[in-house]
Structure 1
């Protein structure tokens, strides 16, 4: 394929079609008419020799060819935008910038309150958009600029993304204070005999605890899975279940509820809360400011 014959605007149109799955929505996003976007789609199909998008009900779904093209095209456009747009000046006290951040329940409880307080004090016109994004989709969202930064546990990040640990976290057990099985403390026998509550965004019924138990030839019963840790203070005081969660989250719950913290009665490796971002944004002064704040919060956490 001869690059001289490619209209760069078609790649921008492709990016919008992938994001919105609709000709009309993509056209609205780019400020063009629907017929013009339909013409762009026809030209894209001719260029790549593939339908690229097929209608399914009210949305257009990408073909395998379009899915394979998405990341390379998004990365190329992102690099081009960085190259032709000089780094914008950023003054925290007057900026009206919006930062898009992803994170799970844990980051929302442990990090977000400190971040929101700092931004409100030092950058009163800066807005934060915090949302949950599936872990597998985060690299693509960072590549395309839909996310500025992601918070979470990222064991094998793509090399094109930068990663910085914020702090290490350990597991503890959380159960109601008057639990009859814990009069003598949390023993391994009591731990494996009790019903467990597992916080899991993926909806599965296994976690780090099960891996540690498996090394000893032991198992546990997962009586309940929930997607959010914030429901623990409502559920645990009314049940015999135990939850194994991060120390910082447990310390938030225990003082103001009828819950007690116990040490996990088996060896557990600590885990790292990290922030991840696109290396293409390394020169962005505003994002550097945001990362510096999060680093400070991580050190103090």
Structure 2
């Protein structure tokens, strides 16, 4: 009688190749573990299997980075090809039924978007796609293109003007900026003069390393506010707003988020007396998944929930 052959424990699975691809991009066990949502011991075990299979260290520690060996660099293109073919098999001619689908969509989105967009998304999924999940991931500017291309991130949301040409874009809305302070601030009202505004202590939300267009607003604030009045820098808008609530500090943040937080946290909205640019908030996805049914569906959900008429363009 024919029997199913036992699995050879020496063989590699696609998971091992994905770990290799992420390590090649991140050059760090800690960062790769975060990207893959693995514990570091589990990642180290997978790397040990890869080293044994290929008979090579593949990655060696140099200072604080894991640098690829010549063997790893030679494997990069073949491994990428295998993963690309498997992703194509998954997406080509496969329908997507949101009511029955079990899938997690990964978004790269800064915390302003998390606070503003994820509650409506979760509420929509609860009825339209009850077994679909979403997760927000952290990334930096140099990796957004790679993560979109590899499928580690399905969609990026924000303002990223420098992404490569193979990344598609769909505008959602144009964002203005506002400042917030605690309610009953002793000196600042809702429409201060420039002198009054810059005389206060400020908390800056920094976008350094994210590639987000908020960096242009950050630079204008740095130029206008005396250095000694910038008392704190944080990477998250919501954390900055919390600091404003419990101090006399002023925080600049997107108007859409500021309006929500002012209501939820009892903050005062302040019109900044500065010439600040409006920034375009958009969806970004890679050409590779442009026709993939699941990606098309989640993009349609995001457009339905968040696209304002003046930003609509073919996508």
TM-score normalised to structure 2 length: 0.74
The whole-number CA distance in structure 1 between the counterparts of 2:71 and 2:187 is 56
Aligned with residue 81 of structure 1, among 73, 86, 102: 86
The whole-number CA distance in structure 1 between the counterparts of 2:53 and 2:261 is 54
Q: Residues 158 and 189 of structure 1: is their aligned pair in 2 closer, same or farther, counting only changes over 3 Å?
A: same
1:161 aligns with 2:182: no
Structure-2 residue corresponding to 1:175: 181
Deviation at 1:108, TM superposition (A): 0.3
SS of corresponding position for 2:187: helix
Structural mapping, 1:44-123, within 5 Å: 52-54=58-60, 61-63=66-68, 76-85=81-90, 86-123=92-129
Q: Residues 97 and 81 of structure 1: is their aligned pair in 2 closer, same or farther, counting only changes over 3 Å?
A: same
Structure-2 residue corresponding to 1:192: 198
Gaps of 5+ in 2: 1-11, 24-28, 30-42, 310-315
The whole-number CA distance in structure 2 between the counterparts of 1:67 and 1:186 is 58
Q: Deviations over 1:151-172 (max 9, x none)?
A: 2221111112112222111001
Structure-1 residue corresponding to 2:230: 222
SS of corresponding position for 2:307: helix
SS of corresponding position for 1:150: strand
SS of corresponding position for 1:111: helix
Deviation at 1:63, TM superposition (A): 2.6
1:278 aligns with 2:286: yes
Q: Which runs of structure 1 show a deviation greater than 6 angstroms over 4 or more consecutive aligned residues?
A: 9-12, 66-71
The whole-number CA distance in structure 2 between the counterparts of 1:273 and 1:71 is 34
- Superposed CA RMSD in Å reads 3.4
The whole-number CA distance in structure 1 between the counterparts of 2:14 and 2:257 is 44
The whole-number CA distance in structure 2 between the counterparts of 1:270 and 1:293 is 24
Deviation at 1:139, TM superposition (A): 1.6
SS of corresponding position for 1:250: helix
Deviation at 1:126, TM superposition (A): 1.2
Q: Deviations over 1:21-40 (max 9, x none)?
A: 5673157xxxxxx3xx4454
Deviation at 1:98, TM superposition (A): 1.9
1:264 aligns with 2:272: yes
Deviation at 1:292, TM superposition (A): 0.6
The whole-number CA distance in structure 1 between the counterparts of 2:144 and 2:83 is 15
Gaps of 5+ in 1: 1-8, 28-33, 46-50
The whole-number CA distance in structure 1 between the counterparts of 2:248 and 2:258 is 17
The number of residue pairs the alignment matches comes to 274
Structure-2 residue corresponding to 1:25: 46
Aligned with residue 124 of structure 1, among 130, 134, 137: 130
State which drifts further: 132-141 or 170-179: 132-141
Aligned with residue 296 of structure 1, among 297, 300, 304: 304
State which drifts further: 148-157 or 255-264: 255-264
TM-score normalised to structure 1 length: 0.77
State which drifts further: 65-74 or 271-280: 65-74
